[in-house]
Amino acid sequence: MSDREAVAHLLRRATFGPTADEVDAAERAGPAATLDKLLAPARADRGAAATPPPTLPADPYAGLTKESTREQRQKANAQRKEQLQQVTLWWLDRMVAAEDGLTEKLLFFWHGHWATSAQKVKSARVMLGQLETLRRHGRGPLAPLVAAMVRDPALIIWLDGQKNTRKAPNENLARELMELFTLGIGAYTEADVKAGARALTGWTVDRRTGVARFEAKRHDPGEKTILGQTGRFDAEAYAGLLSAQPAAATFVAGRLWFRYAGTDVPAPDGLAGADTVATLRALFSSPAFAQTRGTLVKQPVEWLVGALRQLGVRPSALPEQQRKQLLSGLNALDQVPLRPPSVGGWPAGAAWLTTSSLQARLRMAGMLAAAATPAVLARLTAAPTAGRPDALARLLVVDGWGARTRAALTPLAGEPRKLLAAGLVSPEYTVS
Amino acid sequence: MDALTRRRFLLTSGVVGAGALAAGAGAYGLRDLLDTSGDRDPQSRTLVLVTLYGGNDGLNTVIPYGDPAYRAARPELAYPDGEVRRLDDDFALNPAMEGLHKRWSSGGLAIVRGIGYPKPDRSHFRSMDIWHTAQPDRPGNTGWLGRWLDGAGGDPRLAVSFEPALPPLLAGAHSAGAAVPVTDRKAAKGLPAETLTAFAAAEAGESAARGRAAACFADLRSVDEMIRQVRDSAAAETDDPDGEQAPATATGGARTPLDAQLDLVAQCVEAEVSTRVFSVSLGGFDTHADEKQLQAVLLGQLDRALTGFADRMSRSEAGRKVVVAVYSEFGRRVRANASDGTDHGTASDMLLLGAGVRGGWHGDAPSLTDLDDGDLKYTTDFRDVYATLLERVLDTDPGPVLADWKGRLDKLF
């Protein structure tokens, strides 16, 4: 693999999709310096600073009472949906605008890991709050992240934590916390689930303010035995116990490998570092990571955000109708941010490669190509017709086209927007 | 990642083995199925397997209303005697199950009580793996119907799912069933047909995933044909997905409504396609909180979809050879939690109807007081039912599929 191919591979996986200029700069810096810069950016992210999260008014449900009419409820429901759409579109725009692509993509990883859906949480403020928590702790060690998440209002609502009381513990959160978020199946027993649920009792969410609070009288202060340790565990102590298990670091490192490297090559041993950035360094530096080139199916959000960046299109600059098309397109592709289909997160790999998803990608590719900026089109048309497939590969940061794809692209060289759309649905672009 | 976790990810991600990938899971349209019309022995039967994702509460589906322990264990969640649909002096169906109740009265509904497996696992994903693979001790990476398909010649059209991703139960070692998409059927515009055809070619040395991406193009043509062939049963999907009611935590299941999936099954059966097994699903049963209303809505959907399908099937010769089996990955705890819901439990019920199925009770009802750490003790192993279905519906020796499992549910047919 050449240096250019190596940094392109790294940037494709570590971020949402690099532009040709970013690959040029990385090639000049070399693979080692590129990785350092990705993991520890030297300057503050101007793109993120220019796209602050929306300031939302109070949750529309806060004003409702038992006496509220059906119309008032419907209105509040509609306002909530509008707020959620606003936050989702803001997030897409941030993903495109951010310079620190590693941190933005890592946030999306954590969102899929602690997979919480607005379908049940419903409040945009509460969902946004969870994103802020994941952002605050996402790069660091596991313990503060887990400790913050067991008190996260969105997660509590999603997994019925507010209904988990001393009198009758609700196991939903305790089970998924161990199975899906920290330890993985097989690293705990059913008795640990029951005892863990008792440790988490007492945390509730005020649906009016969206704030989680501890109610001592709902908490079970008694002794619990969890993972062989006995004590008066509360949520924080239980979170600490889980984070300290060697299985937790290994499990989370495995999940990172699954999303950043895929399943074709097994995860090497010893990836887990002291914090997530250290784990990512080990992951991207491992020889096995290089072997995964060309095998990972892009998730729909990765595919879309990468294309928007490469085509110079900012969601916030699009007319409203097209912004809505972005969301309906992601819906057709079965991956809408803030709405994972299951507490187990989104699927991966070939699950994204079905005829129905191809149709949705074709529709979106056409829309994206139509929205591409004149400057981007000029990069294609500056090349002589015969060289345009190669110019397209450079623009979309594809290492090269196989004979099949070249044969598909060549007849379109005279129609740059169609050429762009075809590039976006090509197997080489879809699978990175 | 240890091997077990890795495998679990593969299954829960809908990503099946490389063999299944190569076999072209998903690369079929309805046209391909309809093309097989008449390719079957007219005497052969068809199995329709309905998976309820999330762990359906068996005790509020087939309700032991005659047992005082039922009401004692879940005072708020239990249905009063006056609301249930009585089956006999001890058991009743959920009030939402009107159609199936009628079917029971005419002898057309079989209920297997206390169904489960040894050392029950209370993880949705793990327990669903166990039901999909029929390997409770150590779920492998092939599904039970996938293994049947391996033995039946491996044509994907024999085992079909109308879900966007292939369910693991249809993935065999050498072959895989077909996942036929039913949503998003608007024709693709913008790129010329020649471009799409050119993308469909295989490229030597390419990764399996890129090969799969190219194979999707190969299928577009048949999907386009399908659009003209099938009425748009996906239209029901435009419903508002977010009513005011807070749903259960999602744990999987198809997004296409169950009745729309069964409509497509009915069309295929009536066209006498070669398919012997259809897999359909309904999600949302993970009712940790405010269970009563949620479950009733879902059971109502199930009831209407199943009875509508069964009525339609009774009107054709091919339809009268269809057997439907309904299951979920586990039941729920006997005792309610404080949230008017129930946590993950163990044994539950299976419902069967259709060709030759003997209505009435099968399997013993588990005791509500002699519990295993708060959970029901199963009385019938689910592999007994699988083996019986393989033998009596798919005319297959269950031995190679179910590791020589000997149990059968003798009186089911």
pLDDT in tens, A379-397: 999 999 999 999 999 999 9
Mutation target to probe the A interface, by most A beta carbons within 10 A, among B261, B343, B344 is B343
Domain count, chain B: 2
Mark yes or no for CB contact B250/A342 under 8 Å: yes
Q: Does A381 touch chain B (CB under 8 A)?
A: no
Contacts of B184 in chain A (CB under 8 A): 332, 356, 359-360
- Report how far residue B386's alpha carbon sits from residue B407's, in angstroms, rounded to the nearest whole number: 9
**Which chain B residue has its CA at the smallest distance from A341's CA?**
B250
- Report how far residue A420's alpha carbon sits from residue A378's, in angstroms, rounded to the nearest whole number: 12
pLDDT in tens, A127-154: 999 999 999 999 999 999 999 999 999 9
What is the 8-class DSSP label of residue B79?
Answer: P
Pairing label, strands B92-93, B110-116: unpaired
In this structure, the answer to whether residues A316 and A268 fall within a common structural domain is: no
pLDDT in tens, A72-114: 988 998 999 999 999 999 999 999 999 999 999 999 999 999 9
In this structure, the answer to whether residues B281 and B333 fall within a common structural domain is: yes
In this structure, the answer to whether residues B196 and B306 fall within a common structural domain is: no
Of A292, A311, A332, which closes a domain?
A292
- Write phi, then psi, for A212 (nearest 5 degrees): -85, 140
- Report how far residue B383's alpha carbon sits from residue B387's, in angstroms, rounded to the nearest whole number: 6
Residue A100, domain member (yes or no) = no
Residue B42, domain member (yes or no) = yes
Angle between helices B98-105 and B291-313 (to 10 degrees): 50
Mark yes or no for CB contact B252/A266 under 8 Å: no
Q: Which domain, by its residues, includes B209?
A: 191-229
Contact between B337 and B343 (Cβ < 8 Å): yes
Task: Give the closest-approach CA distance of B147 to chain A in angstroms.
Answer: 21
Interface of A with B in 11-70 (CB under 8 A): none
In this structure, the answer to whether residues A245 and A225 fall within a common structural domain is: yes
Q: Which domain, by its residues, includes A281?
A: 141-292
pLDDT of residue B231: 35
In this structure, the answer to whether residues B197 and B177 fall within a common structural domain is: no
Contact between B178 and B32 (Cβ < 8 Å): yes
Alpha helix ranges (H) inside A202-293: 235-244, 246-260, 276-285, 287-291
- Residue B56 pLDDT grade (very low, low, confident, very high; cuts 50, 70, 90): very high
More confident residue, B257 or B229: B257
pLDDT of residue B74: 92
Contacts of A120 in chain B (CB under 8 A): 246-250
Contacts of A159 in chain B (CB under 8 A): 249, 288
The residue to which tokens 């705990």 are assigned = A188
B151 has a pLDDT exceeding 90:
yes
pLDDT in tens, B358-396: 999 999 999 999 999 889 999 999 999 999 999 999 999
Alpha carbon B398 to chain centroid, angstroms: 19
Distance in Å from the first CA to the final CA of chain B: 45
Task: Give the closest-approach CA distance of B106 to chain A in angstroms.
Answer: 39
Q: Which residues are registered as beta bridge partners of B179?
A: B161
Mutation target to probe the B interface, by most B beta carbons within 10 A, among A354, A415, A428 is A354
Tokens representing B142 are 């092939």
In this structure, the answer to whether residues B346 and B204 fall within a common structural domain is: no
Contacts of A184 in chain B (CB under 8 A): 2, 5
In this structure, the answer to whether residues B210 and B346 fall within a common structural domain is: no
Contact between A159 and A200 (Cβ < 8 Å): no
Contacts of B227 in chain A (CB under 8 A): none
pLDDT in tens, B278-325: 999 998 898 888 888 889 999 999 999 999 999 999 999 999 999 999
Percent of chain B as helix, strand, coil, to the nearest 5: 35, 15, 50
- Report how far residue A95's alpha carbon sits from residue A308's, in angstroms, rounded to the nearest whole number: 10
Mark yes or no for CB contact B216/A357 under 8 Å: yes
**Which chain B residue has its CA at the smallest distance from A291's CA?**
B207
Q: Does A415 touch chain B (CB under 8 A)?
A: no
- Report how far residue A135's alpha carbon sits from residue B151's, in angstroms, rounded to the nearest whole number: 50
The residue to which tokens 């605008």 are assigned = A97
Percent of chain A as helix, strand, coil, to the nearest 5: 65, 5, 35
Contacts of A193 in chain B (CB under 8 A): 122
Pairing label, strands B277-282, B159-161: parallel
- Report how far residue A180's alpha carbon sits from residue A162's, in angstroms, rounded to the nearest whole number: 19
Predicted TM-score (pTM) of the model is 0.73
In this structure, the answer to whether residues B43 and B169 fall within a common structural domain is: yes
Contacts of A254 in chain B (CB under 8 A): 1-2, 5-6
Of A249, A277, A292, which closes a domain?
A292
The residue to which tokens 């997979």 are assigned = A115
Mark yes or no for CB contact A431/B1 under 8 Å: no
In this structure, the answer to whether residues A263 and A338 fall within a common structural domain is: no
In this structure, the answer to whether residues B47 and B146 fall within a common structural domain is: yes
- Residues A243, A247, A248, A251, Cα dihedral to 10°: 180
Mark yes or no for CB contact B179/A354 under 8 Å: yes
In this structure, the answer to whether residues B48 and B162 fall within a common structural domain is: yes
Residue B239, domain member (yes or no) = no
Mark yes or no for CB contact B165/A402 under 8 Å: no
Contacts of B191 in chain A (CB under 8 A): 362, 366, 418, 421-422, 425
A29 has a pLDDT exceeding 90:
yes
Of the candidates A167, A355, A360, which has its C-beta nearest B26's C-beta? A355
- Report how far residue A261's alpha carbon sits from residue A265's, in angstroms, rounded to the nearest whole number: 8
Contacts of A351 in chain B (CB under 8 A): 13-15, 164-165
**Which chain B residue has its CA at the smallest distance from A360's CA?**
B184
B30 has a pLDDT exceeding 80:
no
CB pairs under 8 A between A and B: 252
Task: Please list, in sequence order, all residues whose beta carbon lies within 8 angstroms of the beta carbon of residue A382, skipping any fewer than 6 positions away.
Answer: A391
Task: Give the closest-approach CA distance of B180 to chain A in angstroms.
Answer: 9
Q: Which residues of B338-361 are buried (b: 16+ CB within 10 A; e: fewer)?
A: bbbbbbbbbbbbbbbbbbebebee
In this structure, the answer to whether residues B24 and B103 fall within a common structural domain is: yes
Residue B411, domain member (yes or no) = no
Mark yes or no for CB contact A344/B252 under 8 Å: yes
Of the candidates A168, A356, A407, which has its C-beta nearest B337's C-beta? A168
> Of B134, B206, B214, nearest to B403 (Cα)?
B134
Task: Give the closest-approach CA distance of A306 to chain B in angstroms.
Answer: 18
The residue to which tokens 């809408």 are assigned = A336
**Which chain B residue has its CA at the smallest distance from A251's CA?**
B1
Task: Please list, in sequence order, all residues whose beta carbon lies within 8 angstroms of the beta carbon of residue B127, skipping any fewer than 6 positions away.
Answer: B55, B120, B121, B329, B330
Question: Is ipTM over 0.85?
Answer: yes
What is the 8-class DSSP label of residue A296?
Answer: P
Residue B95, domain member (yes or no) = yes
More confident residue, B387 or B342: B387
Mark yes or no for CB contact B190/A171 under 8 Å: no
Residue B235, domain member (yes or no) = no
CA distances for A379 relative to A21, A179, A315, A367, A420, angstroms = 12, 49, 21, 19, 11
- Report how far residue A2's alpha carbon sits from residue A341's, in angstroms, rounded to the nearest whole number: 39
Q: Which residues are registered as beta bridge partners of A342?
A: B251
Of the candidates B184, B251, B252, which has its C-beta nearest A356's C-beta? B184
Of the candidates A347, A349, A354, which has its C-beta nearest B209's C-beta? A349
pLDDT of residue B28: 58
Contact between B289 and A164 (Cβ < 8 Å): no
Residue A27, domain member (yes or no) = no
In this structure, the answer to whether residues A314 and A426 fall within a common structural domain is: yes
DSSP, collapsed to helix, strand or coil, labels residue B176 as: strand
In this structure, the answer to whether residues B274 and B311 fall within a common structural domain is: yes
DSSP, collapsed to helix, strand or coil, labels residue B171 as: strand
Task: Please list, in sequence order, all residues whose beta carbon lies within 8 angstroms of the beta carbon of residue A55, skipping any fewer than 6 positions away.
Answer: none
Pairing label, strands B110-116, B46-52: unpaired
In this structure, the answer to whether residues B143 and B80 fall within a common structural domain is: yes
Q: Could you give the count of Cα atoms lying within 13 Å of B216 in the half-sphere of its Cβ?
A: 27
